[in-house]
Amino acid sequence: MINVVHDISAHTDTLPAYLQPFGKSDVYYGTLEYREKDDMWLIKAQPMVMQLVKRLFPASEYSPGIAKFKPNKRITGDLNWLMMRYPLKILHPEKWNQEYEKSVNHVLHTKEMIVQPKKEVPKLLFKGILREYQKEALAWMLHFKRTLLADDTGLGKTVSFIALMASVNIFPVLIVCPKHLMAQWREMICEFMEIPVPIGGNMELFPSPEQFIHEIKGTKPYPLPNASIYITHYELLGHAILRYAVAVIFVLYVPLLFLKFLQWHASRNGVE
């Protein structure tokens, strides 16, 4: 993965409004605290600020007068926007500065990639050779944790994603694809990737990797076998067996055609 560190002071004019740095304040509406033991930000603030916090961070944990949420680049941007308007006393400034720099570098790197696309070579688990535009796609997917790869048919989206799996090297992985392509995904993975096998929490190469790809079929729940890669199709997404599977999955692949499936499913059920 490409890591770039920027001199933030030299780029303040190009930062989006929500990431502009702010100075000290004479008035504070509450506190921002970092709790290391569970890696959480805690906001304790006046009621009017807490109402805004609930709208900004709807997935966070709440108790009277307190909001808790995990740090990430998007959260940091929203927190910065909030504190530009309602200053909070930062009780752990070193942690805040570290997270703020991560967010700023991410934004600046994104702008650079849009102007001049970067290229990334997949890691050792990948057995193929990427075309130049696939190297650009890999760099983009490594930079963004949530990415829609929308190359045209025949340009090798499957191979690009296999290169991403090999580079990230976090397993197990769940692949969601059209039902008629499940067997093709299995074949492509075996052709282009050395599949690691989880043994005692470590990843090791195994001479017969195909048995560590499991295709989830049918609607009847069953204990999932130990596997590095699970493959299923759209129609099973709502069933209990898949809800169980997703609980152990790190990566979810849904190709662009899934959007058409969602539109069809909504129209069939009378949903606008």
* Maximal C-alpha separation, the chain: 65
Give the pLDDT confidence score for residue 243 in this predicted structure.
54
Alpha-carbon dihedral of residues 116, 117, 122, 127, nearest 10 degrees? -120
CA angle 156, 160, 164 (to 5 degrees): 165
3-class DSSP state for residue 38?
helix
Q: For residue 187, what pLDDT is reported?
A: 92
User: Residue 192 corresponds to which tokens in the numbers above?
Assistant: 């282009």
Nearest to 248 by CA among 147, 173, 168, 146: 173
Give average pLDDT by consecutive 10-residue segment, the chain, 272 residues: 50 82 92 95 95 89 89 93 96 95 90 85 89 91 80 86 89 84 91 74 53 82 82 73 46 48 50 44
Domain spans in the chain, listed from the N-terminal domain onward: 8-113, 132-268
pLDDT reported for residue 1: 45
- Position 264 scores a pLDDT of 52
Identify the pLDDT of residue 238. 63
The pTM (predicted TM-score) of the whole model is 0.65
Residue at token pair 């990948």: 126
Q: Which amino acid is at 139?
A: A
CA gap 37, 7 in Å, rounded: 31
Residue 161: strand pairing partners: none
CATH class of the region 132-268 = alpha beta
Neighbours of 223 (CB within 10 A): 7
* pLDDT at residue number 7: 52
- Cβ neighbour number for residue 264 with a 10 Å cutoff: 11
